[in-house]
Chains A and B, each alone.
Chain A
Amino acid sequence: MIKAEKSLGLVFFPAFDWAISPTHPEREERLLYTQDQLREEGIFDIEGITEFKPDIATEEDVMRLHFCFPDVASVTTGSHLISAGGALRAARAVMDGEVKSAFALVRPPGHHAMKCVHGNRGFCNINNEAVMIEYIREKYGKRKIAIVDTDCHHGDGTQDIYWHDPDVLFISLHQDGRTLYPGSGHLRELGGPNARGKTINIPLPPNTSEEGFIYTIDSMVLPILEHFKPEVIINSAGQDNHYTDPITNMNFTAHGYALLNEKLNPHIAVLEGGYSVQGALPYVNLGIVLAMAGIDYSHVKEPDYDINYNPQDDDITAYIKKLREPVLANYFSPAPDTDRPATGQYYTRHKNIYYDTDGIQESQREHVMMCNDCRGVIMIESSSSVNPPGAGIEIPVFGCKRCRDEGYRLLKEARASNNFVTVQFTDRVNRVYERYGA
């Protein structure tokens, strides 16, 4: 009998009865062969590996971080709440000491879901990792969290949610946005004025292989993590960097993913994308599970590895090596934001967001208070092709007295004005999650 060297919790929720549409890559059988492979390997019999049933995320779990328009129920279904609930269960298992680490193999994914939600973008409605992180912060009092997003697509939703949060380090490795959806995640995106250098983007060239990914982890991600000293490390474990993935152009492998995971050593991994249902997912997921449990994964290898996998070209290696300096500089010595207003003033961002899956256009104005004592009260004015103007006001977690008072003033003002059909109000300090309006 095999024993896991490190105890591991698995939340496996394949949602066999849910798809975006019949031919959409986010479809029912996405994890079918992964389940077959894990069962055939006897993963669930391994001593030290425990399978947990997902929780179902509550409205409050979602409202802790999202502004949903017009409300949570309109933009989520059971599938989203179970998927996020799967991440919550994984977190609970680790935080309560049931297991050393946990992997939530859940779908639908979440990392393209931004702070404001009007519908589905990039196959995501609510951000599973962020729902989980804010739960961990509220229930377990953790503060410093690092997310390493290894999905092939830029984790623009997670970036948006933590853009102004200096206590959450978000690192995204992805295929360069000039060549893939969602188009963002460039080096110059490094966090809002209150959180410069806490968003780190590493845009990798198409065809990056095992060598390039492992180099990126060793020489960029790990030094930054070591310096940041997070209390919790989370891996957004997308698997679409695989050489067989039908919707991306990278050249990564199951063994590479396992090695990457071993190096990152996350407390919690949450599945994101990955659409090579037969050729990649069964092997990549198996590799990650074994790596997290401290079990030898050297025999995990795709059947077509010797035929279809090519080692990296020299020019790609050279390109990635050149990324190291600017990436490290972004974290260790970020250029100050020249637009930063004075403390006590608001910084405003205008955003136009397209929801590709649902075809929704959203227009946003985001105001954040420049504060030296907390990450700053936030107000977002948002309207979209499906919703009239609404507002979201958030007093941040660990918010200071001034930002708390300011939050309640903003709420009063927003409710008194006729500008917003709905107003969402979040007071993370006093755990108030409210929604006003039609």
Chain B
Amino acid sequence: MLLGIDVGGTHTDAVLVGDEGVLKSFKTRTDRGNLLGSVTTALAEVTSGFDVKKITNINLSTTLSTNAIVEQKLEKTGLFISSGPGINPENFIMGDCAFVVPGSIDHRGTETLKIDMKMVQNGLSECKANGVRVYAAVSKFSTRNKDHEEQMASAAAGQSDFITQGYRLSSQLSFPRRVATAYYNSAVWRIYNSFTDAVMKAVSQSGISAPVNILKADGGTMPVQVSRDIPVESILSGPAASIMGIIALCDIDHDSVILDIGGTTTDIAVFASGAPLIEREGIKLGGSPTLVRSLQNRSIGIGGDSVLAVTEGNVTAGPERKGPCMADGGDVPALIDALNFLGTSDFGDTARSNDGIRQLAASAKMKPELLAQQALEYAVATIRRAIDSMLEEINSKPVYTIHEMLEGKKIVPEKIYIIGGPARAVAKAMTGMSEITVPEYFEVANAIGAALARTTFETELFSDTGRGVMTMPNLGIEERVDRRYSIEDAKHDALEHTRRFMEKTGYDTSAGPELVEVSAFRILNDYSSSGCDIRVKCQVKPGLIKNLHAKAKGGAK
């Protein structure tokens, strides 16, 4: 049996999945003041009546780190950055304990200015005096050469409980993102780890001995012990869990669009040939772009609780939400109330919905039927526009080779999958645009996705035979190589090192890493060859431990 728990911003969902499909599911409101309580309740409820010894895997998605960052409940973090030429590094400072230190590494990883360790020491003394216990050390191009980050980290070692070094987070370039990601990672480290301690205790107390994995925003998981050093990777995993849930429930093998209609927002995701698209750079959180890999996902302000308004005869819904819809005890009619009135949904207290719609219609001198119908049309049109603009953006994404420019494939969705409260009602209204599917179990698709998601991993090998080095930054690998080091060597090393690293750190390696991008450039210095620049990206892409395709057929078609 596989157990999945998704502690979301509004609801906490849990499912237990066995060979026969979903064995049990559980849904409750999230207690934002006590996320641990939500986890333990869900754990107890969903497993009651089952033999917990038969649970082979637990996957957990929580908003703990996300909340801490969004609500700025962050631990004071000593941030040390060395940057070299470029944009003024003062722009990237985060928190009130940051130090910009002279020191420079260039795009090939060559040190062009030694790091000023005296300034690092001064900064550290100041931090110590202020009782700072967690640190982040980031230098520009540290993915090509980690020396400066290492020097800063070892200087801080004596006075810190935890240090994030930028190069360990991702192989990807972007100094500002590296700074933000490292800072957040250290700033949530303690709260995340004490939460995880408590969760692990609760799991073992309930008699479960299965491994625990933590959901990430890219639709995959990481082993809980790995997550303790990179808690920032646990942010914004909710939408990805829903997307993975749809993959588990529906056999998607074509270009398609996924809509997850929640209370306040609708999340839109796009699939190319059945595979979810991954955000090129990383997810944005608290206004800062990060290096945290995520599935591409756009949120718009249309949901079941979107407030209805009539201005000069035009009916609109959202983006505002003023509490729950009337059917759920709210004071103002919302989208769900219109759907209830139309009879396409029967959520909660439909009589209250009908009253609300009639009152609003009367004050706007409209027929209530027309008002409800227009509200639905408005919502569908807004969603439709958002889908179109997202597709436009994806299809006009820049590419960097002539081959991709001329042969590039456009995404043309054939199907729309809809989950969430108003899914069936909206599906009905969208009929005729594309083939629409509302899968079964859609209410707990997020928890199903959480339960069935597999571990994911990504890394990049960078080798500069002119400098004689090969690095795989987030694996912490740096090796000497000679001029004969070839593309084939690099491909082999990338896969082999990744596999070994994953085995060592408790990842599921059954899917194995695969190569995603390979490039090699012969580097010339004034016409003479000075070596080869080889880059190999490899990943374990998002996938499922198993799917439920035979068990869950599409609902309202």
Of A22, A45, A299, the contact of B176 (CB 8 Å cutoff):
A45
Task: Give A217-236 as 1s and 0s: 1 = Cβ < 8 Å from B's Cβ atoms.
Answer: 00000000000000000000
Give complex CA distance A134, B84 in Å.
Answer: 42
- B141 x A40 contact (CB < 8 A): yes
Give complex CA distance A210, B177 in Å.
Answer: 33
10 more A-B residue pairs beyond the given contacts A16-B521, A42-B174, with a C-beta to C-beta distance below 8 A? A25-B527, A35-B400, A40-B140, A40-B174, A42-B177, A278-B106, A286-B86, A296-B87, A299-B85, A303-B104
B177 contacts across to A, CB distance below 8 A: 42, 45
- A36 x B173 contact (CB < 8 A): yes
Say yes or no for B96: interface residue by CB 8 A criterion.
no
- B521 x A17 contact (CB < 8 A): no
A56 contacts across to B, CB distance below 8 A: 405-406
With CB as the reference atom, state the residue of chain B lying closest to A53: B398
Give complex CA distance A29, B535 in Å.
Answer: 13
Interface size class of A (residues with CB under 8 A): 35 or more
Say yes or no for A301: interface residue by CB 8 A criterion.
yes
Say yes or no for B91: interface residue by CB 8 A criterion.
yes
Q: 8 Å CB contacts to A: which residues of B154-203?
A: 173-177
A79 contacts across to B, CB distance below 8 A: 402
Q: 8 Å CB contacts to A: which residues of B398-451?
A: 398-403, 405-406
- B397 x A2 contact (CB < 8 A): no
A45 contacts across to B, CB distance below 8 A: 174, 176-177, 281, 289
Give complex CA distance A18, B402 in Å.
Answer: 7
A14 contacts across to B, CB distance below 8 A: 400
Smallest distance from the beta carbon of B459 to chain A beta carbons, Å? 17
Give complex CA distance A35, B539 in Å.
Answer: 22
Say yes or no for B112: interface residue by CB 8 A criterion.
yes
B287 contacts across to A, CB distance below 8 A: 1
Give the one of B140, B176, B177 with max A CB within 10 A: B176
- A37 x B88 contact (CB < 8 A): no
A295 contacts across to B, CB distance below 8 A: 87
Say yes or no for A408: interface residue by CB 8 A criterion.
no
A16 contacts across to B, CB distance below 8 A: 400-401, 519, 521
Say yes or no for A246: interface residue by CB 8 A criterion.
yes
A78 contacts across to B, CB distance below 8 A: 402, 405-406
Q: 8 Å CB contacts to B: which residues of A10-34?
A: 12-18, 22-23, 25, 27-29, 32-33
Say yes or no for A298: interface residue by CB 8 A criterion.
yes
Task: Give B85-99 as 1s and 0s: 1 = Cβ < 8 Å from A's Cβ atoms.
Answer: 111110100000000
Smallest distance from the beta carbon of B390 to chain A beta carbons, Å? 16
Of B84, B176, B402, B405, the contact of A42 (CB 8 Å cutoff):
B176
Give complex CA distance A286, B91 in Å.
Answer: 16
With CB as the reference atom, state the residue of chain A lying closest to B527: A23
Q: 8 Å CB contacts to A: which residues of B201-228?
A: none
Give the one of A13, A40, A82 with max B CB within 10 A: A40
Say yes or no for A5: interface residue by CB 8 A criterion.
no
Say yes or no for A349: interface residue by CB 8 A criterion.
no
Given A12-B400, A35-B400, A282-B107: A303 touches B87 (CB 8 Å cut-off): no
Give complex CA distance A295, B88 in Å.
Answer: 9
Give complex CA distance A162, B196 in Å.
Answer: 70
- A12 x B398 contact (CB < 8 A): yes
Smallest distance from the beta carbon of A62 to chain B beta carbons, Å? 17
Smallest distance from the beta carbon of B330 to chain A beta carbons, Å? 35
B402 contacts across to A, CB distance below 8 A: 15, 17-18, 78-79, 82
Give complex CA distance A28, B289 in Å.
Answer: 30
Say yes or no for B479: interface residue by CB 8 A criterion.
no
- A246 x B521 contact (CB < 8 A): no
Q: Which residues of A contact B (CB under 8 A)?
A: 1-2, 12-18, 22-23, 25, 27-29, 32-33, 35-37, 39-42, 44-45, 51-54, 56, 78-79, 82, 246, 277-278, 282-283, 286, 290, 295-296, 298-304
Interface size class of B (residues with CB under 8 A): 35 or more
Give complex CA distance A277, B289 in Å.
Answer: 29
How many A-B contacts are there with CB distance less than 8 Å? Answer: 116
Smallest distance from the beta carbon of B81 to chain A beta carbons, Å? 13
Say yes or no for B523: interface residue by CB 8 A criterion.
yes
Give the one of A13, A14, A18 with max B CB within 10 A: A13
- B401 x A278 contact (CB < 8 A): no
B533 contacts across to A, CB distance below 8 A: 29, 32
- B526 x A37 contact (CB < 8 A): no
Give complex CA distance A32, B532 in Å.
Answer: 13
B173 contacts across to A, CB distance below 8 A: 36, 39-40
B519 contacts across to A, CB distance below 8 A: 16
- B524 x A303 contact (CB < 8 A): no
- A41 x B87 contact (CB < 8 A): yes
A36 contacts across to B, CB distance below 8 A: 107, 173
B401 contacts across to A, CB distance below 8 A: 15-17
Task: Jot down 5 A-B pairs with beta carbons below 8 A, ordered by A.
Answer: A36-B107, A40-B141, A79-B402, A246-B527, A301-B85
A53 contacts across to B, CB distance below 8 A: 396-399
Give complex CA distance A27, B521 in Å.
Answer: 10
Task: Give B509-528 as 1s and 0s: 1 = Cβ < 8 Å from A's Cβ atoms.
Answer: 00000000001011111110
- B521 x A28 contact (CB < 8 A): yes
- B88 x A299 contact (CB < 8 A): yes
- A41 x B113 contact (CB < 8 A): no
- A290 x B87 contact (CB < 8 A): yes
Say yes or no for B108: interface residue by CB 8 A criterion.
yes
Smallest distance from the beta carbon of B115 to chain A beta carbons, Å? 14
B87 contacts across to A, CB distance below 8 A: 2, 41-42, 290, 295-296, 299
Q: Which 7 A-B pairs have the closest CB atoms?
A: A303-B112, A42-B176, A29-B521, A39-B173, A17-B401, A40-B173, A53-B398
A42 contacts across to B, CB distance below 8 A: 87, 174-177, 289
Smallest distance from the beta carbon of B173 to chain A beta carbons, Å? 4
Smallest distance from the beta carbon of A261 to chain B beta carbons, Å? 16
Give the one of B175, B396, B524 with max A CB within 10 A: B524
Smallest distance from the beta carbon of B105 to chain A beta carbons, Å? 9
Say yes or no for B151: interface residue by CB 8 A criterion.
no
Given A16-B401, A33-B107, A78-B405: A41 touches B86 (CB 8 Å cut-off): yes
Smallest distance from the beta carbon of B513 to chain A beta carbons, Å? 23
Smallest distance from the beta carbon of B232 to chain A beta carbons, Å? 17
Say yes or no for B288: interface residue by CB 8 A criterion.
yes
